[in-house]
Amino acid sequence: MTRAGKKKAGRMTRRRRDLLPKLVGWKISTRIPIAFARAVRSTCKLERRRTLISIGRRQSKVGRSMTRAGKTKVGRSMKGTRICDLPLDLVGGKILTRVPITSLGAVRNTCKLWNALTKDWVLGEASAPRQQFLGFMTMNSMVCSAKFHSTKEKEDLAIKQVDLLNQVKISKVHHCDGLLLCVAEDKSRLVVWNPYLGQTRPIRLNDFHWQDNYAFGYDMNRNHKIVRFQDYYEHPKKVSRYEIYQLSSNSWRDLKVHTDLKIKFNHSASVKGNAYFFAQENCQDIEPNEDGEITDLEDFLICFDFTTETFGPPLPLPFHSGIDETVTFSSVRDEQLVVLYHNEGVYYGDKISTVEFWVTTKIEPNSVSWSKFLQVNMRPVSLTGELFEHDMGGGTFFIDEEQKVAVVFDIDGYLPTLPTLPERVRYHTAFISGEDGYFKPVTLGVAPNRGEPYQSLSGPSFASLYCPPVVCSSSYLPSLVQLN
């Protein structure tokens, strides 16, 4: 190459390098939501300046209000450092990991380099060391993202509403393999959502009932499926019908399955593509005591296998729960099942009131083994609320294995009423518990009363009906599964 050619190539290289700061500022920073710009600004001085500039551009329509002197000053401050000079570990570990999953689409579409970095730091092995829970939940019929980071000094819980799905009231979200199944509050609509790719897909329903329950999984060939359980009494008969939907074929078909157990279909967790439920022996097969009551039932874990499309055999649980005691499930990295058991004691006022967390050391559709993760004494917190009403969807949770912490979501019922409100106020609450008796309730906001007014003997009254926050059964794992 001649000397003139080398000079020309050098000028072209410098120009390309000079484009990168503008690329980051205009293409990425301008697309990051204002609420999350702090994460980018805190990375380094350069990113703080770029983010402030990009915000100024948005607010002033591409920076028309910035004076020439201001532009010159910003140009001088940015002259010494370019984005290409930053280590890729800094860009990936300090910027991309702080951008919300729901905003990563804009980052990935910017250029091939940022798309590759996003895959590495969000999907690849580089994302493994991050010690935080990232998931989704529903609160007040809205889908929210949840981030939890725990250290020995403190815990940080951040909850943000997802605007993409705010057109529909959502009561529950099921997570499986990086996809979320969103169930409408009245059960009339289903939507499958890939937060990482920003894709949604409505699922056609031939009919629906307000007591329908769903589970989400995949078979051995990674075909994702949805199973619908219609199991309820509708006078004068019992309805028992199961259907399955396969995303690849876009069709429903009836399932011919049978079990003698009474399965609690309103709560499940997905592990290795299969759904797990709490089940008890059918009370119709049990003889009542002298008072005509049934006070004890055997309880089990049962798996719905999405490959065979059948229920597995009854599996043992590491405890024996009483009737109507709370048992809920979560999972860890789609590999281990976690169970919460709230032992409320035999009689009201008992000194025994504990919450136990157990984690599987082995789990398959036909076998399971357990290890105790954590036990929390609930008596000292009896004044903080009515805990874990599983029939209303309470008691959903996740755990932090590294810090030995569990976070349970429910309604806090006994905090003082605000003087400006006429009725008792209840609050959405996250109960954080750990070793050595550590317990910390975190208020997430006032829970609206959804009860209907009625006429009682003493006059007009108002029924109390509160729906607690419901968190996904596992930490979110991004996926490249296409929905469209």
Contacts of 358 (CB under 8 A, 6+ apart): 317, 318, 319, 338, 339, 341, 370, 371, 372, 373
**Tens digit of each residue's pLDDT (9 = 90 or more) over 368-381:** 999 999 998 765 55
- Give the mean pLDDT of 449-474: 75
Please identify which residue in the block is written with the tokens 């003139």. Answer: 4
Structure tokens given for 58: 């948005």
Q: Mind listing the pLDDT tens digit for each residue in 162-213?
A: 887 878 899 999 999 889 999 999 999 999 999 888 889 999 998 888 889 9
Residue 325 or residue 222, greater confidence? 222
Axis-axis angle for helices 68-78, 45-59 (nearest 10)? 150
> How many percent of the chain have pLDDT more than 70?
62
Domain ranges of the chain: 3-127, 133-471
Reply yes or no on whether the pLDDT at 318 is more than 80: yes
Closest by CA to 137, choosing from 165, 107, 118, 109, is 165
Going by the DSSP 8-state scheme, the letter that residue 76 receives in this structure is H
pTM exceeds 0.85: no
pLDDT at 17: 38
- Residue 454 CB neighbours (<10 A): 9
pLDDT for 164 = 79
Q: What count of other Cβ atoms lies within 10 Å of the Cβ of residue 242?
A: 18
**Which of 79-88, 133-142, 285-294, 309-318 holds the top average pLDDT?**
309-318
DSSP string, 221-263: T--EEEEEEEEEEETTEEEEEEEEEETTTTEEEEE----SEEE
242 and 229 Cβ atoms separated by less than 8 Å: yes
Write down the pLDDT at residue 75.
57
Between 157 and 484, the higher pLDDT residue: 157
242-298 residue pLDDT tens: 999 999 999 999 998 888 888 999 889 999 999 999 998 877 666 777 666 766 788
CATH topology (fold) of 133-471:
Neuraminidase (2.120.10)
User: How many angstroms separate the CA atoms of 60 and 57, rounded?
Assistant: 5
DSSP bridge pairs for 7 = none
